[in-house]
Amino acid sequence: MNKILLVETKLFLRDPLAGALALLLPVGLLLGIGQIPDLRKPDPAFGGERFVDAQLPATMILLALLTSAFTILPNALATYREHGVLRRMSTTPVHPARLLAAQLVLNLVVAALGALLIVVAAALVFGSRLPGNLAGFVLVFLLGAAALLALGLIIASVANAKAAPAIGSVSMFPLLFLAGMWIPREVMPDALRTVSDYSVVGPFIAALRATWAGDWPELSHLAVLAAGLAVFCALAVRLFRWQ
């Protein structure tokens, strides 16, 4: 897998627009939304914390991950499929699992850099505090990011270059909704909250915010993330097609 990862990294670096989209778009949104005065005032709804501390950084990290998982990653493999690259690779001993693993690792590294930029930008510009439970934060981020990227791998395993963007968009926005982007999870109806709890994004954002507050994530949240990672990886490998 090391050789595949090296090649994929070189190809990724030849397309700076993809990297800029994953790294800079969420930071730009963070800085733009954070300029709203009311979001920088203590809010009783968030236990007296400011929105830019309690909600915004974690939400932007999720947005960065979903952008990578449903836009950048599927488009890369779909383009390979469209240009016949995967068809040629099918004649070699390369197993789909190795190719998908290389894509997962590469995009996980990019996502980690994006998360770091968001945390640093929030701290420097708005004085937001750093995650109170750093070890828990890293654990949740790596597990949740890998699960979401693995979900994107399912699209990458089957879609062509024309279908991948549409499938990615259709998949991303419902997940943002379930994560509480428009309606906070705390005020969702019970049925919708239950769906959110098993949607991967719900437990991910809840666990991320818990570690930001200095707490450990709930085991149930970690279990959903781990199960999602295992199931999505298995499906991506099972459904993968070379052409």
Q: What is the pLDDT of residues 17-60, one digit of tens each?
A: 666 766 777 777 777 877 777 767 776 666 667 777 767 788 88
CA 219 to chain centre: 20
Pick the closest to residue 149 from 216, 229, 210, 240 (CA basis): 229
Cα separation, 8 vs 225, whole angstroms: 26
Domain encompassing residue 115: 2-239
Q: What is the pLDDT of residues 80-114, one digit of tens each?
A: 788 777 778 777 777 888 888 888 888 888 888 88
Cα separation, 165 vs 167, whole angstroms: 6
Number of structural domains the chain divides into: 1
Burial class (CB in 10 A: 0-12, 13-18, 19+), 3: exposed
Decide if pLDDT at 222 tops 90: yes
Task: Supply the pTM of this predicted model.
Answer: 0.88
**Helical packing angle, 96-126 and 134-158, nearest 10°:** 130
**What does each C-alpha distance from 19 to 73, 94, 109, 156, 211 come to in angstroms?**
11, 26, 11, 18, 27
